[in-house]
Amino acid sequence: MATPDRTLIFAHRGANQEAAENTRAAFDRALEHSVDGMETDIQLSRDEVAVLWHDRFLDKLGLPGKRIDDFDYAQLRAMNFAAHFSAASRPEGVVCLQEFLAAYRARCRLLLEIKNREWEEPSRHQTKVRQTLEMIAAATGDHILVSSFDLGSLVYAHRIGPQFPLVLNLEPEHGAGFARATLAEQPFLYGLCVHISTLDEAMVGSVRERGKRIAVYTCNSEEEIGRALGLGVDILISDVPQKALALKGAAPSGRRPAP
């Protein structure tokens, strides 16, 4: 993983400003920018296939109030998950996790966020975790990270697969004190992924003092990207990875951009 001298740039759901998020087009476009890695989101179809989708609902597909788990995988494949981005986009069905890993795990680092929802049965939470870990079982080191906002899911993941690097995502209201306490209580965590609004020296220090890694979401403005680079985060997640790469490349050798 990166040191403070080398921040890795991850595309948020692919290059989502240039193609529909979490589609093959967005992932392929991100790789054209030579990103270090890509972040994506995992949910379960009704028939328990792990697929890539971020939102709680399918409003973007013209299905307000409907969720991913209201449909079987075959139905989701028949929908056009790119239509909301541009009518000119090539039609794309939902991408399943297995397909994503087969296409991209050898091409860049990956950050897989497991989306567990409050309306789901706990058994589905566990199924999602198990499927994810089983599919990445051959991964070594920290080339593939697994994250979640749901600590219980990560505790379960650690119990069944203690070798996997697990990252807890923090909400914008979670500051340095919360980060410090969480890492003290959950030493198995590989690191934290924090919101850009909370990123400062205190937050970085609370993570580094435990010897853990820190990622930050979602850095889009020059100020946000510069602050993340200046503080030497391990992973910078951006909707505009090409901008982050350009700012990182413009920094004088041996120096970080000013926050």
Nearest Cα residue to 51 out of 79, 10, 90 = 79
pLDDT band at 251 (very low <50, low <70, confident <90, very high): low
Give 169's strand partners. 193
What burial letters (b/e) apply to 200-238, b meaning 16+ CB within 10 Å? eeebbebbeebebbbbbbbbbeeebbbbbbbbbbbbbbb
- Is the pLDDT at 5 greater than 80? The verdict is no
Percent of the chain with pLDDT over 70: 94
Tens digits of residue pLDDT in 177-195: 999 999 999 999 999 999 9
Taking only the tens place, the pLDDT of each residue in 102-128 is 999 999 999 999 999 999 999 999 999
Q: Assess whether pLDDT exceeds 90 at residue 157.
A: yes
Task: Round the average pLDDT of the chain to a whole number and report it.
Answer: 93
Q: Which CATH class, in words, describes the domain spanning 8-250?
A: alpha beta
Judged against a pLDDT cut of 50, whether residue 214 lies above it is answered with yes
- pLDDT value at 140 more than 80: no
Indicate the domain borders of the chain.
8-250
Residue 2 pLDDT greater than 50, yes or no: no
Section 208-236 average pLDDT? 97
**Which of 82, 114, 120, 80 has the alpha carbon at shortest distance from 97?**
114
Give the pTM: 0.94
| 134 CB neighbour count, 10 Å cutoff | 11
Angle between the 122-135 and 151-160 helix axes, to the nearest 10 degrees? 50
